Amino acid sequence: MTAPLLAVRGLEYTYPGGIAALRDLNLTVERGCKLAILGANGCGKTTLLLHLNGTFRPTRGEILLDGQPVGYDRRCLDQWRRRVGVVLQEPDDQLFAATVGQDVSFGPINLGLSAAETGERVREALESLRIAHLADRATHRLSFGQKKRVAIAGILAMRPEILALDEPTAGLDSHGVTHLLGALQQLHEAGTTLVFSTHDVELAYAWADQVALFHEGAVLRQGETAAVLADREVMSRARLRPPLLLELAQLLREEDGDDAWQPPRSREALLTLLRERLRDSGVTEEGGGERCRQAAEPQ
């Protein structure tokens, strides 16, 4: 049986002062997967991400790449971080060079690449995030959303197999979220495995292939997205509610009685399904809307 690309086994981490952040944590990251680490704020998601590329060293437990335990000496860390890149929630924590191009080139230069290869990687990373036009702009003159993309580009220029992002949509408006997720989807389709932390159940439902449900430093359950988020008992333990789209989809499935039915994963897909149901029942959208308005009027 093929080992997962990345695995966490029995991970524990205690901050100075005896504060336990991770507790006997187990997690697997399959190659080519989009994995959401989902949990309420303060449950340890960021701490976990900082273990995935060796920024933090566990108090107990181990991390495996391709089934082999990782090491923490300089040579092993360098090799590890070429394969697993971490993007922090606050882009200002990662941006430090004067211009966008200089910032994104930092990683490839540290890999000892030639000027030509570094330039090619910078160009490729900026184009993949649709920010090539920002190459010469000062980093302090970027918007928050632009800074997010530049921080991601800086990691992409290292060409990691796994890109781990801490709350990637935090602080972005709906337009910024749409553009960022579109860029990340293109990276995923090109072969990058994506891991992202979030407290947004709607985002996890719409976008992740798998979910690892997090609570108090441990994974309560990991598996296929809809199956995990439909588990009301474990969601309640994690202090989260199932996504609205999934709840509506479950109501529709109950009407059909079709256990093999796949629930819609986006607002657009759900609306399309509802329109089909209205047509099948002989109700037009206009007529259905009129009935709703009449029902809402005071008698």
Q: What is the pLDDT of residue 286?
A: 57
- pLDDT band, residue 295 (cuts 50/70/90): very low
Confidence check: pLDDT of 298 > 80: no
pTM score: 0.85
Average pLDDT, stretch 4-30?
94
Among the listed residues 232, 262, 230, 231, the one whose alpha carbon sits nearest the alpha carbon of residue 246: 230
Query: How long, in residues, is the chain?
Result: 299
Class for the domain spanning 6-241: alpha beta
Give DSSP secondary structure letters for 91-159.
Answer: GGGT--SSBHHHHHHHHHHHTT--HHHHHHHHHHHHHHTT-GGGTTSBGGGS-HHHHHHHHHHHHHTT-
Helices 267-280 and 285-296 cross at an angle (nearest 10°) of 100
Mean pLDDT along residues 165-192: 90
Q: Are 170 and 145 in contact (CB under 8 A)?
A: no
Let me know if 293 is exposed, middle or buried by CB neighbors in 10 A (0-12, 13-18, 19+).
exposed
Over range 33-50, report the average pLDDT: 94
Q: Of 211, 197, 189, 222, which is closest to residue 265 (Cα–Cα)? A: 211
Measure Cα distances from 125 to 14, 223, 287 in Å. Answer: 36, 31, 50
| The predicted structure's pLDDT at residue 234 | 95
Q: What is the pLDDT of residues 137-151, one digit of tens each?
A: 999 999 999 999 999
Q: Give the pLDDT confidence of 242-270 residue by residue, as tens digits.
A: 998 888 877 776 665 555 567 777 778 77
Dihedral of the alpha carbons of 129, 80, 37, 234, in degrees to the nearest 10: 160
Domain borders along the chain are 6-241, 248-296
Closest CA to 28 of 175, 223, 220: 223
Picking from 197, 210, 215, 199, the residue whose alpha carbon sits closest to that of residue 23 is 215
**pLDDT (tens digit per residue) in 54-84:** 999 999 999 999 999 999 999 999 999 999 9
212-225 residue pLDDT tens? 999 999 999 999 99
Measured between alpha carbons, how far is residue 243 from residues 125, 213, 250, 265, 295 in Å?
A: 33, 13, 11, 10, 26
- Note the pLDDT of residue 267: 77
pLDDT band for position 21 (cuts 50, 70, 90): very high
- The alpha carbon torsion through 128, 173, 93, 112 (nearest 10 deg) reads 0
- Position 296 confidence tier, pLDDT thresholds 50, 70, 90: very low
pLDDT band at 122; cut points 50, 70, 90: very high
Q: Quick one: which of 162, 149, 154 has its CA closest to 35? A: 162
User: pLDDT higher for 35 or 288?
Assistant: 35
Strand pairing of 162-166 and 84-87? parallel
Q: Residue 124 is which amino acid?
A: E
Sign of the dihedral through C-alpha 65, 70, 76, 82: positive
Q: What angle do CA 125, 71, 221 make, to 5 degrees?
A: 75
